[in-house]
Structures are given as structure tokens and as C-alpha cells.
Amino acid sequence: MNLDTKPIVDIVTGYRTAKILLVAVYHDLFTLIDGGTNSVGEICQRARLNPRATEILLEALVPLGFLEKTGARYHNSAESERFLVHGKPEYLGNNLKYQEMLWEAWGELREILQYGQTQRPLETLLSDNPGFSQEYILGMHNISQGPARELAEIVPLERAQKMLDVGAGPGTFSLEFLKRYPTMNAYLLDLPGTIEVAESILAHHPESSRVRFITGNYLYTDFGYKRFDLALLSHVTHNESEENNRFLIWKTYRALRPGGFMVVHDFMHNDAGATKFNGIFSVHMLVYTRHGRVYSVQEYEKWLRHVGFKNIRKVPIAKNAPNPTMAILAQRP
């Protein structure tokens, strides 16, 4: 067997490339360059950075394919221009800034294996980094629009009047449901800081007149009884323990009218086990949540059946994407 060390070396040194890109985005270097601030001196003056360190970083971004250089001037590559310049329709920067802010959490993985859970969970990161919450939420909005449109197409809701979006984040998924169902109203439940960001995002859409906000913690806030036609938990359950997820599903069952649907949308292990992405993402949850992980489709189906849901089915979402998700639909009889 011809074995090669290159795959191991590529993995072990891959963090260097990631950190270079994340820091460049964190300091908005691609946005500055797009605006004509494209020499080392100009960039350092605008961003208040050290010239020597900044030049070294910019030079590294050239062979990595994110920048091009003409004389003493730097220019964005086509890829950087499309995805890394603030204000562009496909901007990924908010999500990358969120990844940069999680860097310290990943650095504790060695200790987490000893103690069982992180000492710096999400709530600590939010309090220690005032800008983290907004970047985190905007980042979720950036990457969720395509899957949200797809998800809104698979639930039969022609006569639905009310939906509950649990842990709604920026409200991206509710927005797509409201676009598809013009008579429906959406109730978005999340923490105060998250609701504030969601309000600013949704204010620019005509559907905002059909949005109601509920400020609270989904573990403690009452969802009501037989009140909603649809309840959505999108990218919520991977943050929680099995015990909390069972509790959320029970609360959601109570909140649905007979015939109403619950949709759980998340990264999920399938019958074959963890994919590469899901396996890494489960570790991602380990480093910045106290109890989160990726769960299997079979686990969700068992939890849903236990509280009384019927007509349970799974639907792949964004199945051609690098990190596809799964939606599980279940109906209250």
C-alpha cells in the first residue's frame, strides 16, 4: 500500500490558511480594497493596523487566490469580490466573522475532552464580545436564504393562519413562509438581542406587517395551547441536550392545533452514520455549547412519536450543497 503524509499535513496546517482569511475578513480588508483603499499604507491608515504585519498578511492572500497585485496595489479576485465585500448580495463576511470569534472556543478542545464540556459556552462568548451576537445572527441570515425558500415549499399550509418560529434567529425562515402564504402570520420567539437584529432585517420587507415578536428563552417561555398551525425549529436542536429537545418537542405538540405541522430542520446523521461535515459540526457544538451535538434522524423520529406526532416524514434540504440539512415533518392528529 502506497501511503502518503500529505493528507495529514494538509489537515494539520489547514488552520493557518483559515486564520489568514478570517482575520482579513474581520478587518474588512476586501471591502476596503473594493472601495479603492488598496495600498498597504492606505489600508493601515483606514483600518488602524500595523504596516509590517498587514503587508505580510496581504502578500499571503495573493498566492491563496483571494487577492491580485499590480505594483504596490492590491485588487480583489473575482471570488473575493463576489463573496467577501460587504454589501454584495452574496456576502459571506458576517458568517466568517462569527467563525473568527469562535476561534478561542476551538482552542479549548483538548481541555474539553478532559472536563466534558466547554468553560466558554455561547452565552459567555456573547457577553465577552459585544459585536458577536449581531455577526452571528447576520451570518445565519446570509447562509439560510436558499434553504429557507426550499423548506417553505415542502409543507402543505394552504389554510394556515399562524406559525411559531422557535429560536427564530434573524427570521429568515419565517420570511420565506410568509412570502409563500400571504394570509399567514408568524410569531418569532428568541432572546432580546436576537429579536432586535431580526426586527432590523425584516423591517425592509413588506411581510413585516405580518410578523409578531415574542421575547424570551424557548426553554422557559410558554408556547400556548392549540394556538398554531405550524411550528418550526430550525437549527435549534443541535444546541441542546436530548432532554431539552424532548421537552421542546412536547411543548410544540401542545402549541399546535389538531392537523398542525411541526418541522424540525437541522444537520442530522443518517442511517450510515456521520458525514464528514456533520461529524465536524458535532465537535463544533461540543466546543461552544454545554450540551449540543448532531443527532440522528432516528432519534428525532423516536422523540416525535413519543409525544404523539403522526405522519412523520423526512425531506433532504439543499442536498447538493456542501453541507446539506434534513427536515422532518410531523403532524399533530
The per-residue pLDDT for range 75-125, each reduced to its tens digit, is: 999 999 999 999 998 899 988 988 898 898 899 999 999 999 998 887 777
pLDDT confidence tier of residue 142, bands split at 50, 70 and 90 = confident
Label the pairing between strands 185-190 and 211-215: parallel
Q: State which residues form the domain around 304.
A: 143-331
Total of domains in the chain: 2
Report yes or no on 48 lying in a domain. Answer: yes
Could you give the C-alpha distances from 26 to 84, 95, 120, 198, 317, in angstroms and in order?
A: 10, 10, 21, 22, 30
pLDDT tens profile 279-303: 999 999 999 999 999 999 999 999 9
CATH number of the domain where residue 242 is located: 3.40.50.150
Residues 81 and 176 in one domain: no
Nearest Cα neighbor of 139 from 262, 71, 235 is 235
Residues 62 and 169 in one domain: no
Which pTM value belongs to this model?
0.90
Domain boundary residue, one of 91, 109, 126: 91
Distance (Å, whole) CA 107 – CA 160: 46
Domain boundary residue, one of 91, 117, 151: 91
